[in-house]
Chain A
Amino acid sequence: MDPNEVYDPPAWAVKFLSWFCPDALLEGILGDLLEEFDNNVNNNGLSAARRRFIYSVFRFLHPSIILKNRKVIKLINMGMLKSHLKVAYRGMWKYRFYSFANLLGLTVAFAFLLLTSTFIYHENSYDQFHQKKDQIFRLAHEVLLKETGESLSKSAVTPVPLSKDLQQEVPAITKQSRVGSASMTLVKDNIPYEEVIVFVDPDFLGFFDFPMDQGLPKAALIDQSSMVLSAEKAQKYFGYSDPIGQTLSLNVNDSLINFQVTGIIDAKEKESSISVPILVNFEKFELLVGKQAMTSYNYSAVENYIYVETPQEISLLEGSMTEAMKKFSRGDDTEVKIFAQPLTSIHLEEDVPGTADYTTSRKIQIMAGLGLLVLVIAIINYIMLSTGHSLNRLKELGLRKSLGAFKSQLRIQLIYESFFITILSGTLGYVLALLLIPLFNNLIDSNLTLGISAIQILVMFLISILIALISGGIQAVILLKHKLVAALKGNSAIKNKDSILNQGLVVLQFAFSMILISGTLVMRSQLNYIQDKNLGFDEDRLVELTLGNTENTETATRLVDRFRNEALSNSQISSVSASMNNASEPWTTLGFLQENGDTENIHYNQIDADYLKTMGIELTMGTDYNPNSGNTANDILVNESLVKHFGWEDPLNQQIPGKNFDSKHRIIGVMKDFHFSSLHNEIEPLILSINQGAVSSGVTGLSTYYWPPNLYRVIVKIGPGELTPAVNFLEETWKSTIPNKQFQYRFVDESLDQQYAEEKRWRKVINAASIFALGIAWLGLLGLTRLSVQRRTKEIGVRKVLGSSIPNVIILLSKRFLILVSVAVVIGIPIAWLALDNWLQSYPYRIELNPLLFILAALIVLIVSIGSVSLQSLKAANANPVDSLKCE
């Protein structure tokens, strides 16, 4: 190395050091590093010295140095910050309209974002209150095709003995609990009440952390006759008196079984997927499902929960569940895989249905998407308005510049001002969200409270900073591009043209609005279509009464007959029937193993002879049940879909194919297809029979809400006339004929409507989002037009003096914006079309996308934007040209 040559360390490293190192320390440190560098150049060569230099610089990237830095920066800038805030405040006051438009847009967007994020936060807070939540898993099973490994179904409803058997097999599972639930009749002081009873193992309260007001979690359910109530139920049955030790009875097959209350759970405040209204010992589940189901792998009836000491080994556990899997196997061409779901993910996994409450992740995505969309529209607005408006300030900035301000300082000032506004609107947004939350709860049918979490505050703060940086930055780039000092001289650099950026942003905003509005319109017409669709039966004036569990079909039939005889004495009651499944829940599916190893899954409902008449279902072939024809034990009714499925020319007297069938069942009639499940599903093959024994021999698989086959509900068709007296009459009749069951009724059309409650809710949310979005975009356009009108005041004056008419001026001013909006509409339509087409695909029964709806949406967007543009233009066009021209 030539000692006289001067070598330099990497310039970027020096720059980097001076960036993060406070000035007070920089000189000494950099000097030391340079000395070391020179030393190293002489001893070890240039490249080694450079490497060492970089290494040393990074060794200084140390909290003790960087933190000193911040203090210094704050000290220096406090004074400037104050000045910036003052200027920002004055600026806002001087241009009240823009400040208002800016604040309003951002505030609304922040409020909407807060509401949606509260919703998302709430959905993610389920089951978090259990201390050992990471060690609790739910067992679920997946049915796969043996050959291809294709997944046929997943379910968290599993056989009763599963978790108990697994516990024997796998030592890592230290505790387990089955969770089975059923709607039953609870009796207190001889009055029957329909309640959902949850059957759990005694350990349930031990490893879950449901907070108990009274009673010991570990001991409350050990006794088979003990019962644990939720605080609400305790209040319902015992008011303010002490419920502990009191007796409640369950009606099981018409005999009463007594339970002592041993504990109270108060879990109102906790979000739990597993609902715990009334808990009893799991052994009692046998009374409901029978001895066989308690030990058999053929019936899936409960959810199984396990508690493991070492959750990280859960994947190993899944492998060792082979023995249980073999028991599970159905002996056809499918195999069953068991897997464990972490407790905390149950609420968010919709593809593994169980009895626990769950949400769909799509719902969360849509919410997040809407929140962000509205925010983006507001941010665009803000950026457009503030950049446009800040051109008014060229003189101020020019003055600052000529007094010696650096460009970087002006940039920081602009960013500070943006930050001031975003923080202000963040705070206002929070207040607005507080005001709006009851409305929002109403909209999505929930019970959220706006408890702001630290994360939300942090995110809001970060978003504020981000908006401030982006919009302040863009303003700075645009403004500082101008010759600021020239602006001082009066020949201002303001140009009439809006920037490409602004034009693009307007297009983006209105394209978003366009998409949301067409979404609202299409969702509305799809919903109307679904609700008005002919279901194939007459759901009007149809009432369902809950009969619940009875000993067997004979008992049920006897009760129904007694009720029917009384009820039909009233001429307003036209028909009474009974059935197993109801209108709102999925019907039973029976699996029939075929000779070739396939399984045919066919829906099933047990009915009585008056069913078709009561429901108004038409026959296309054959005959209905005739109560007088004697033996109907082998007669079944099927629907057209079933006939089509098997490709039968002459279905009458045919039998359902199946390997295990030994009965003499025969088809006596074919029903016209009717919608027995919601319109989310296509009509599938269906069998109806009075005697479930007609097809039971062929059944090899089963999925059902109600078991065993029986009549669980009474269906009544009410004829013309007032409904209220008819319902009152039914209640009287019920009380005199079936006194030990609670009278519970539901109109079928209402419960069918419930199936679409989700869609209705979403339509409302998207409605709100599109109103917000369009409103904000409207505000933005209003501001933008105003800016452009202001800039062209003189031009307009000159034009008017030269004889231009008012409409001419309006067209001149509005044309450009309306072209932009039209472009947005043209861009928005295909996107909206594709997205909505995709959404409609999830409905087997759907509307054709109607171009008229999109034209309507486009009209709405255009009218709104014409409204905002022409308002401003009209004002400018009407102004006296003398005023604008003499101001020089």
Chain B
Amino acid sequence: MKETGLGEFEEVILLLVGILAEEAYAFRLAEEFESQTKRSVSIGAVHSSLSRLEDKGFLTSEMGASTASRGGRRKRIYSITAAGERALQSAKDFRVSLWSQYPQLSFVGILNQ
């Protein structure tokens, strides 16, 4: 999906950031990723993906309030930028347009299995 510059993993992370909103920090994102996809992932992987997305301008981050559970350390909360929203939208549009061209027959075939 060249035009958006989003990998599959990045797209999921971006979506999760949108879903989690105020709770979108690396640990929570990793947890959510695991529960939604049943795939295990390390915080490191999530983090490097997040910073890549930040470099691309799809995310911004700021430090949240401090919490006792983390030894008083603040969370880095991520939020989607307008460019990020657009990238997600165009990724989705692209898929829809591909699906619309997909032959109906085999689609039915899959459903019948």
Contacts and interface: CB of A to CB of B under 8 A. Distances in A.
B74 A27 contact: yes
Interface residues of A, number: 21
B19 interface: no
Interface stretch (B9-17, B46-54, B98-106): B46-54
A60 B47 contact: yes
Interface string B29-48: 01100000000001111011
Given A38-B69, A56-B42, A32 B48 contact: no
Contacts of A55: 42
A815 interface: no
A31 B43 contact: no
B76 A33 contact: no
Contact of B74 (A25, A28, A33): A28
Interface in A41-60: 55-56, 58-60
Interface in A2-36: 25, 27-36
A35 B47 contact: no
A35 B63 contact: no
A36 B27 contact: yes
Contacts of A30: 71, 73
A631 interface: no
A62 interface: yes
A59 B69 contact: no
Given A36-B27, A36-B30, A31 B44 contact: no
B43 A34 contact: no
Contacts of B74: 27-28, 31
Interface residues of B, number: 22
A38 to B, nearest CB: 6
B2 interface: no
Interface in B47-72: 47-48, 51-52, 61, 63, 69-71
Given A28-B63, A28-B76, A64-B51, A35 B44 contact: no
B26 interface: yes
Contacts of A31: 25, 27, 70-71, 73-76
B30 A28 contact: no
B100 to A, nearest CB: 38
A65 interface: yes
Contacts of B27: 31-33, 35-36, 39
A71 to B, nearest CB: 13
Nearest to A60: B44
Contacts of B42: 55-56, 59
A65 B52 CA distance: 11
Contact of A62 (B44, B69, B75, B76): B44
Given A38-B69, A65-B48, A28 B43 contact: no
B45 to A, nearest CB: 7
B69 A28 contact: no
Contacts of B76: 25, 27-29, 31-32
B48 A34 contact: no
A738 to B, nearest CB: 84
In this complex, the member of B42, B63, B69, B70 whose beta carbon has the largest number of chain A beta carbons within 10 angstroms is: B70
Nearest to A35: B27
B23 to A, nearest CB: 12
B25 A28 contact: yes
In this complex, the member of A25, A39, A64 whose beta carbon has the largest number of chain B beta carbons within 10 angstroms is: A64
Contacts of A34: 69-71, 73
B26 A32 contact: yes
B43 A56 contact: yes
Contacts of A59: 42-45
Contacts of B44: 56, 58-60, 62
Contacts of B48: 62, 64-65
Interface string A58-73: 1110101100000000
A27 B43 contact: no
Contact of B63 (A27, A36, A62, A65): A27
Contacts of A27: 63, 73-74, 76
In this complex, the member of A25, A33, A35 whose beta carbon has the largest number of chain B beta carbons within 10 angstroms is: A35
Contacts of A25: 76
Nearest to A14: B71
A419 B71 CA distance: 41
A69 to B, nearest CB: 13
B45 A32 contact: no
27 contacts: A27-B74, A28-B26, A28-B61, A28-B76, A29-B43, A30-B73, A31-B27, A31-B70, A31-B73, A31-B75, A31-B76, A32-B25, A32-B47, A32-B75, A32-B76, A33-B27, A34-B73, A35-B27, A35-B69, A36-B30, A39-B27, A55-B42, A56-B42, A56-B44, A58-B44, A64-B48, A64-B52
Given A31-B25, A32-B30, A38-B69, 20 more contacts: A27-B74, A28-B74, A28-B76, A29-B26, A29-B43, A29-B47, A29-B76, A30-B73, A31-B75, A31-B76, A32-B26, A33-B27, A33-B43, A34-B73, A39-B27, A55-B42, A56-B42, A59-B42, A60-B47, A65-B48
Interface of A: 25, 27-36, 38-39, 55-56, 58-60, 62, 64-65
Kindly list the 10 A-B residue pairs having the minimum CB-CB distance in the complex, ordered from nearest.
A59-B44, A28-B76, A31-B73, A32-B27, A31-B70, A32-B26, A59-B42, A60-B44, A35-B27, A34-B70
